Amino acid sequence: MRVVKFGGSSLASGKQLEKVFQIVMSDPERKVVVVSAPGKRFADDEKVTDLLIECAEQCLVHNIPIEKVDLIMERYSSIANELSLPNEIIREIQTDLLNRLEKDKSKPDRFMDLLKASGEDNNAKLVAAYFQQQGVEAHYIDPKEAGLLVSNEPGNAQVLPESYERLFSLKDRSGILIFPGFFGYSKEGEVVTFSRSGSDITGSILANALRVDLYENFTDVDAVYSVNPTIVNKPKEIRELTYREMRELSYAGFTVLHDEALVPAFHAGIPVHIKNTNNPSAQGTRIVFERDNTNGPVIGIASDQGFCSIYVSKYLMNREVGFGRKLLSIFEDFGLSYEHTPSGIDDLSVILRENQFDLEMEDEIIHRIETELHPDVVKIEHGLALIMVVGEGMRRNVGTMARAAKALAKAKVNIEMINQGSSEVSMMFGVKEIEEKRAVQALYEEFFVTAKV
C-alpha cells in the first residue's frame, strides 16, 4: 500500500487531473491520494491558496469580495468543465466557500485558516467526483472524521500523537481514498492549517499512520537536483539520498519537499519517492534511511541568502560561566531563532535570518548586549549567504574540506565562516551574498564535474 501526494501544479487543470488519474490507476498499491489546492497553470498564474488568502484578508477588512470569490470558483469550474463533471460538485464547493466566508471573524487567524483550508478540502471533493465519474470507487475523506488531530496553532499546526492510531482505521476503508492536505482539526474541532506547503506533511502523516511501504510525492520536477539549476546549468540529478541529506539540503534552499514533511516518514522509516506528474516514467529521487555510497563524498550543494552575523567579543569571555547562555537568552526574549554560533577564544557570533527583525529591533538587541554583557565589541554584518555541502560520504573522507576550501580559494571567494563537525553529513560555509553564486559554481565544479585530464 502506498500514499500518493500530488502538488498544486499536478492539480491545476483538467488535463493535469487526467494525468493524476492515470498515475493512481496504474498501480493498485496507490490507495491513499493526498491532494493540494489547484496551483499555477502557467508562470504568471495565481495559486488558489493565494486567492483564498487575499479573499480572507479583504473579508476581514471590508465585505465579501465577490470578484475574488468568482475568480476562485472559476478555477474549480474550469477543471470541472474540462472533465465534463456534473454541475452538482461545483454548487457544493460554492456553498461551502460562501458558508465559510460568513463565519465568525473575531479571531482573524482562525478565519484565515478556515479559508485557506478550503482550497485543499474542496479540491479533494472535486478529485473524488472525477474518479467516481471514471467508474472507480473513490471517497473524499473528511480529516475530522478520520481523526487528524493537530495542535491549536493557526498556520503552524503540529500533528498530535493520537492521530496516528485514529488514522490507522482508514486501512479498512474500501476504494481509493482522496484526502485533502494541509490541515487538520484541533481538539476543539476547529480547522487549523500546517505551515505553507503543508500538504506534504499530511501525506507523510498518513504514510506513517497506515504503515505503508512507500510515500510517493508527485511534483513537477523529474528529480531533486544536486544543486540549484538557476545557479548551475543542467545539474546532476540525485537518484537516492538519505533523510538527513535531504533535511540538510532543504534547510538552505532545496524546496522540493516541506521540511517538516520528512519527520513522520523518517520516524516510521518509510521511503519517500519524489516523482514528476508530467513525466511519470522519469526515475525521480528516493529519500531513504540508508543508501549505497556510490557518488563521491558530496551528494548536493544548497545555498540560501538573507543571513546576518552579530559578533560579540570580550577579553577572557570563556572564563565567564554563562556568557553564551546569557547572550542567547537575549535573542530568545525577542523571539528570534538563530542558526549557528561560531566562536573564537574571546568572541562569539550569532548567525540568524535577517527577515526576523527590523532596524529598530536590531538597535534594541545591540543595546541589551552592551548593557547586560559589557562586551569589548559588538557589531553586526548583513548580507551573508550560507552554503551547505552535503553528503553521507563526507565523514569518512579525509580530504573533502581541503577540496572544498581549495575550490573556493581558486574562485577567489573569501570564506567568512565555516561550521563543520557537529553534523556528520555536511559542511557549512558562510560567504558574502554577492559571492554566493560563484562559490556554489566552484564547489559544484569540484565535486560533480569530472576532472579534465
Shortest spacing between CB 233 and a copy of itself, in angstroms: 26
353-383 core/surface letters (b: 16 or more CB in 10 A; e: else)? beeebeeeebeebbebbeeebebeebeebee
Q: Is 432 annotated as a binding residue?
A: no
Q: Which is nearer to a copy of itself, 107 or 412 (CB)?
A: 412
Asked if 324 touches a copy of itself (CB under 8 A), the answer is yes
Q: Which residues within the stretch 393-412 sit at the binding site for a copy of itself (CB under 8 A)?
A: 398-399, 401-402, 404-406, 408-410, 412
- Collapsed DSSP state (helix, strand, coil) of residue 129: helix
Asked if 296 touches a copy of itself (CB under 8 A), the answer is no
Asked if 161 touches a copy of itself (CB under 8 A), the answer is no
Please state, in angstroms and as integers, the Cα–Cα distance from residue 233 to each residue in 227, 230, 236, 434, following that order. Answer: 9, 7, 9, 19
> Residue 319 and residue 328: Cα distance in Å, rounded?
17
> Residue 383 and residue 388: Cα distance in Å, rounded?
17
Q: Is 7 annotated as a binding residue?
A: yes
Q: Which is nearer to a copy of itself, 136 or 328 (CB)?
A: 328
Asked if 293 touches a copy of itself (CB under 8 A), the answer is no
Asked if 347 touches a copy of itself (CB under 8 A), the answer is yes
Q: Which residues within the stretch 363-392 sit at the binding site for a copy of itself (CB under 8 A)?
A: 388
Q: Which is nearer to a copy of itself, 244 or 286 (CB)?
A: 244
Q: Is 429 annotated as a binding residue?
A: no
Work out which of 66, 316, 451, 453 binds a copy of itself, going by CB under 8 A: 316
178-188 core/surface letters (b: 16 or more CB in 10 A; e: else)? bbbbbbbbbee
Asked if 446 touches a copy of itself (CB under 8 A), the answer is no
Parallel, antiparallel or unpaired: strands 240-242 and 285-288:
parallel
Count interface residues toward a copy of itself (CB under 8 A): 65
> Residue 373 and residue 232: Cα distance in Å, rounded?
44
Q: Which residues within the stretch 208-267 sit at the binding site for a copy of itself (CB under 8 A)?
A: 244, 247-248, 251, 259-260, 262-263, 266
Q: Which is nearer to a copy of itself, 98 or 334 (CB)?
A: 334
Tell me which stretch binds a copy of itself (CB under 8 A): 12-20, 60-68, 161-169, 342-350: 342-350
Parallel, antiparallel or unpaired: strands 176-180 and 272-276:
unpaired
Shortest spacing between CB 177 and a copy of itself, in angstroms: 28
Please say whether the beta carbons of 71 and 51 come within 8 A.
yes
DSSP for 381-402? EEEEEEEEEE-GGGTT-TTHHH
- Collapsed DSSP state (helix, strand, coil) of residue 352: strand
Tell me which stretch binds a copy of itself (CB under 8 A): 14-22, 52-60, 88-96, 426-434: 426-434
Asked if 416 touches a copy of itself (CB under 8 A), the answer is yes
Backbone angles phi, psi at 216, to 5 degrees: -95, 130
Per the structure block, which three cell numbers stand in for 3? Answer: 500514499
> Which residue shows C-alpha cell 537536483?
225
> Residue 22 and residue 4: Cα distance in Å, rounded?
13
Asked if 349 touches a copy of itself (CB under 8 A), the answer is yes
Tell me which stretch binds a copy of itself (CB under 8 A): 69-77, 209-217, 223-231, 416-424: 416-424
> Residue 402 and residue 423: Cα distance in Å, rounded?
17
Q: Count of alpha carbons within 13 Å of 217, Cβ hemisphere only?
A: 29
Work out which of 105, 340, 368, 438 binds a copy of itself, going by CB under 8 A: 340
Shortest spacing between CB 401 and a copy of itself, in angstroms: 4
Asked if 328 touches a copy of itself (CB under 8 A), the answer is yes
Asked if 415 touches a copy of itself (CB under 8 A), the answer is yes
> Residue 194 and residue 303: Cα distance in Å, rounded?
25
Work out which of 1, 71, 366, 418 binds a copy of itself, going by CB under 8 A: 418
Shortest spacing between CB 224 and a copy of itself, in angstroms: 17
Work out which of 84, 337, 355, 371 binds a copy of itself, going by CB under 8 A: 337
Per the structure block, which three cell numbers stand in for 163? Answer: 492521530
Backbone angles phi, psi at 50, to 5 degrees: -65, -40
Q: Count of alpha carbons within 13 Å of 291, Cβ hemisphere only?
A: 25
Binding residues for ATP: 5-8, 219-220, 225
Instruction: Give the residues lining the site for a copy of itself (CB under 8 A).
Output: 244, 247-248, 251, 259-260, 262-263, 266, 311, 315-316, 318-322, 324-325, 328-329, 332, 335-349, 388, 398-399, 401-402, 404-406, 408-410, 412-423, 425-428, 430
Binding residues for substrate: 49, 120
